[in-house]
């Protein structure tokens, strides 16, 4: 029997490798990225209602919602959850309505695909709530209309993303590790970062093919050796706190620390739990980052998504 309400966890991502190949004439960028789902999530409750789309947004206590800023989460038609619900309703001519209650925990405008993963959760949730029977591919084709990261968020796990981010190749699960994630109290516009990137003059790029081979071989060291994010230098130049966070994580024992997406979130990969825990506590008590998480990689099969 179909349910009238659903609770969904919408997981964040990091980029283990992010390369930008070129700027296309239409303004989009062609990318090659290795994406990884991580254990930080928003919670959504979807319920059938008589008509329309009703959205409520609540923030976790350490998240601010400054009006008009990059870090603001809209609670209206601009929210990606609302836009995803509208797209499904219009495309499949659904007469009934849906209420969406979104509890944000994923740092906002942070390079962790927070809005995209919420939209992906709404697409998947409405597919099941209204018994639409849509395939993952169909949901991804719908999702890309709202954002290039949404197809990946529908799939999740360890994935190679190409094109504008929508061409996906599933990889073996990346080996487990301890992951420290820290978001300084600034919000970065993805648009600003891409506009200030010069793809032809990049000095160092990630070794995406090498990373795919390392993932296949289950070698965390191999992965660490191939990591790079070409957007890092752009964001770091504007916000020196990113370099400070990376340095602090590596000084505390991270095998590698890097910025995720367009930033400003920095993550550190640790091999030893104790070092990761100590680094988490130091960072949590310190003043470089307002939001700090100790987590790990998440893969769809293990999560039963």
Which of the residues are catalytic?
13, 149
Q: Is 234 in the site for ligand ATP (CB under 6 A)?
A: no
Q: Is 150 in the site for ligand ATP (CB under 6 A)?
A: no
- Mention every residue, 6+ apart, whose C-beta is less than 8 A from residue 74: 57
Q: Is 80 in the site for ligand ATP (CB under 6 A)?
A: yes
Instruction: State the DSSP code for 296.
Output: -
- Mention every residue, 6+ apart, whose C-beta is less than 8 A from residue 164: 24, 28, 29, 30, 31, 144, 148
The beta-strand segments (E) located in the chain are 5-23, 29-49, 53-59, 97-104, 158-162, 167-170, 178-183, 228-229, 256-259, 266-270, 291-295
Could you tell me which stretch among 1-9, 24-32, 70-78, 225-233 binds ligand ATP (CB under 6 A)?
A: 70-78
Q: Is 65 in the site for ligand ATP (CB under 6 A)?
A: no
Nearer to ligand ATP, 108 or 230 (CB): 108
What is the four-CA torsion angle of 270, 272, 276, 282, rounded to 10 degrees?
-120
Q: How far apart are the first and last CA of the chain?
A: 19
Q: Is 112 in the site for ligand ATP (CB under 6 A)?
A: yes
How many C-beta atoms surround the C-beta of residue 207 within 10 A?
Answer: 17
Binding test (CB under 6 A) with ligand ATP, winner from 36, 55, 87, 118: 118
Could you tell me which stretch among 20-28, 88-96, 115-123, 271-279 binds ligand ATP (CB under 6 A)?
A: 115-123
Binding test (CB under 6 A) with ligand ATP, winner from 70, 162, 250, 303: 70
Please give the Cα distance from 228 to 260 (Å, whole number): 10
The token pair that represents 198 in the structure block: 């010069």
Could you tell me which stretch among 103-111, 208-216, 273-281, 285-293 binds ligand ATP (CB under 6 A)?
A: 103-111
Site string for ligand ATP, 160-199 (x = CB under 6 A): ------------------------------x---------
Q: Is 261 in the site for ligand ATP (CB under 6 A)?
A: yes
Q: Is 113 in the site for ligand ATP (CB under 6 A)?
A: yes
Q: Which residues bind ligand ATP (CB under 6 A)?
A: 70, 72-74, 78-81, 108-116, 118, 149, 190, 261-262
């Amino acid at each position: 029997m179909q349910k009238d309400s659903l609770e969904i966890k919408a997981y964040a991502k990091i980029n283990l490798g992010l390369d930008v190949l070129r700027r296309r004439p239409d303004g989009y960028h062609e990318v090659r990225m290795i994406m990884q789902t991580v254990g930080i999530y928003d919670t959504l409750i979807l319920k059938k209602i008589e008509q329309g789309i009703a959205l409520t947004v609540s923030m976790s206590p350490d998240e601010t919602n400054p009006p008009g800023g990059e870090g603001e989460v809209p609670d209206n038609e601009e929210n990606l959850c609302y836009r995803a619900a509208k797209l499904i309703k219009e495309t499949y001519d659904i007469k009934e309505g849906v209420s969406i209650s979104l509890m944000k925990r994923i740092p906002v405008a942070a390079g962790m695909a927070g809005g995209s993963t919420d939209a992906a959760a709404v697409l998947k949730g409405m597919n099941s709530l209204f018994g639409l029977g849509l395939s993952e591919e169909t949901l991804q084709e719908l999702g890309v209309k709202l954002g290039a990261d949404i197809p990946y968020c529908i799939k999740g796990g360890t994935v190679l993303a190409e094109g504008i981010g929508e061409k996906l190749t599933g990889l073996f699960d990346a080996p487990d590790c301890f992951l420290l994630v820290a978001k300084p109290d600034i919000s970065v516009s993805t648009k600003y970062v891409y506009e200030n990137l010069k793809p032809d003059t990049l000095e160092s790029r990630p070794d995406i093919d090498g990373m795919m081979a390392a993932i296949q071989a289950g070698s965390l060291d191999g992965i660490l050796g191939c990591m790079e994010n070409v957007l890092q230098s752009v964001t770091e130049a504007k916000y020196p706190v990113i370099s400070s966070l990376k340095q602090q994580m590596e000084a505390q024992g991270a095998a590698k620390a890097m910025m995720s997406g367009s930033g400003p979130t920095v993550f550190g990969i640790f091999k030893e739990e104790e070092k990761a825990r100590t680094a988490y506590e130091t960072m949590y008590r310190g003043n470089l980052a307002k939001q700090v998480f100790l987590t790990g990689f998440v893969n769809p099969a293990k999560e039963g998504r």
